[in-house]
Amino acid sequence: MKSTTKSPTLAAIGLAAAAALALAACASGSSGSSGSTGGTGATGSTLTIADVAPFSGPDAALGPTYLASCYGATTAINNAGGVLGHKLTCKSVDTRGDPADAVPAVNQMFATTSSLALVIGCTSDEAASVVPIINGHKMAMFCMTGQSEFDHVHFPYFYRLVPPDLEESYAMVAIAQELHYSRIALAFGNDIGSQTFIQPAIAALKKAGIALTTNQTLDLSATTFRTEAEAIIQSHPDAIMTEALGSADPTLFAEIKQLNGGKMIPIIGTSAAISPPFFKASAAAVGASTFATDFRADNLVTETGGPAYQAFSKALLAEQGKVPGATGNFTTYLSAPGGVHLYDGINLAALAMIMSKSTSPGAYGPDIIKIGDGVPGATVVYSFAQGAAALKAGKAIRYEGPGGPTSFDGFHDSTGIFQVDTYSSSGTVNVVGNLTAAQLRALSG
């Protein structure tokens, strides 16, 4: 029997997290919570950026993806002189993709990490549990969660450069429309992050007049999905919309091919599928050429040329072979949402520290918005080095990174439009189209 993990409400999680925060504060004493002091430290000390994400469990590929971004951004920042006399470093905080593990891990992070200046990561697996804690410590965070609850609950220290999952669900259905598919099967993992796609996808399919043939939930702890594969094959879909990380999706693909006379059913994935480990495992399961031929994924539009991309690619590729846990084709990180948007988040935060002349999130946080959205007459900069030089020259700046320009709303959300990605048989990501805002609006509730 498969179980479906439901996302707890932020109100309920907030109460639990507040209790956990209070207990942690009592346990650690005044010397433990570096987050409460806002990342301050003596001039010349090292500031820490914490990557709060799964490094183990089914979603273990997410942590190293974000860490690659952190390594690239902080090395470039340090090479450009650092921030207010500080160098930056990265720290992994393994949530295991489970709220029960994430809460103590984050409390431990605050109790033991000196000069914490920023948190990145916080995926849909654990964001509802840890965002209230991080916010309670008055620590700025750039999260990769797509949970729609964050669209209308304001956390002053929360920032997001990726869309809510419901928009990604619409994007997947728009891809199906463009490919003229009329029958779609769903196969999503039983983790919190994957489950949030299902109901918006079902509603969008109905609005698009596309038949839902079957809805299968994949237990990420299982080692075989033969029953689910048979159900999908027997429902005769034109394609499968899916997100089931770890080994789940590749195992499902292999069993579908085996049970379907050696033929794959086309796949439409989420942006999480743009990941070196995902391609490597899927290609091994069904063959690189077969997988590449039958695969599409939505992804946020990112720049693939110009000064911002050049600075980003140089910074990230310089870390190849240095990032713990990073496997597969390293160039895929140039298109991975976490690789792109957390790089931008780190640069925005570092430039805001310089602008505010403070490493305290309470002081530099508002300047993240000012630098991201800009003001009339602001100088556009495409890297930390350019931005730092302009700020030191007394100029107002607008930062535009590889994720494109930002436009933050009152909940600190800034999301762009989507592109359609494919893989080559070597694992290189190719952009084959764009999805307009009008296409997504036509599929929304």
Q: Which pLDDT tens digits describe the chain residue by residue (445 residues)?
A: 333 333 344 444 444 444 444 333 333 332 223 333 455 556 678 999 999 999 999 889 999 999 999 999 999 999 999 999 999 999 999 999 999 999 999 999 999 998 999 999 999 999 999 999 999 999 999 999 988 789 888 999 999 998 888 899 999 999 999 999 999 999 999 998 899 999 999 999 999 999 999 999 999 999 999 999 999 999 999 999 999 989 999 999 999 999 999 999 999 999 999 999 999 999 999 999 999 999 999 998 888 899 999 999 999 999 999 999 998 899 999 998 888 999 999 999 999 999 999 999 999 999 999 999 999 999 999 999 999 999 999 999 999 999 999 989 999 999 878 999 999 999 999 999 999 888 998 998 7
Residue type, 337: P
Spell 388-405 as b/e; 16+ CB within 10 A means b: bbbbeeeeebbbbbbbbe
Token couple for 4: 């479906």
pLDDT at residue 43, as a whole number = 65
Angstrom distance (rounded) from CA 353 to CA 364: 5
CA 376 to centroid of chain Cα atoms: 30
Q: Tell which phi-psi region holds residue 320, choosing left (phi > 0), alpha (psi between -120 and 50) or beta.
A: beta
- pTM for the structure as a whole: 0.81
Q: Which CATH architecture has domain 37-164+338-399?
A: 3-Layer(aba) Sandwich (3.40)
Angstrom distance (rounded) from CA 282 to CA 324: 22
What's the 3-state SS for the chain? Answer: CCCCCCCCCHHHHHHHHHHHHHHHHHHHCCCCCHHHHCCCCCCCCEEEEEEEECCCCCCCCHHHHHHHHHHHHHHHHHHCCCECCEEEEEEEEECCCCHHHHHHHHHHHHHHCCCEEEEEECCCCCHHHHHHHHHHCCCCEEECCCCHHHHCCCCCCEEECCCCHHHHHHHHHHHHHHCCCCEEEEEEECCHHHHCCHHHHHHHHHHHCCEEEEEEEECCCCCCCHHHHHHHHHCCCCEEEEECCCCHHHHHHHHHHHHCCCCCCCEEECHHHCCHHHHHHHHHHHCHHHHHHCEEEEEECCCCCHHHHHHHHHHHHCCCCCCCCCCCCHHHHHCCHHHHHHHHHHHHHHHHHHHHCCCCHHHHHHHHHHHHHCCCCCEEECCHHHHHHHHHCCCCEEECECCECCCCCCCCECCCCEEEEEECCCCCEEEEEEECHHHHHHHCC
Q: Which CATH architecture has domain 166-300+418-443?
A: 3-Layer(aba) Sandwich (3.40)
pLDDT at residue 321, as a whole number = 96
Q: Where in the chain is the domain with CATH 3.40.50.2300?
A: 37-164+338-399, 166-300+418-443
Spatial neighbors of 394 by CB under 8 A, at least 6 apart, are none
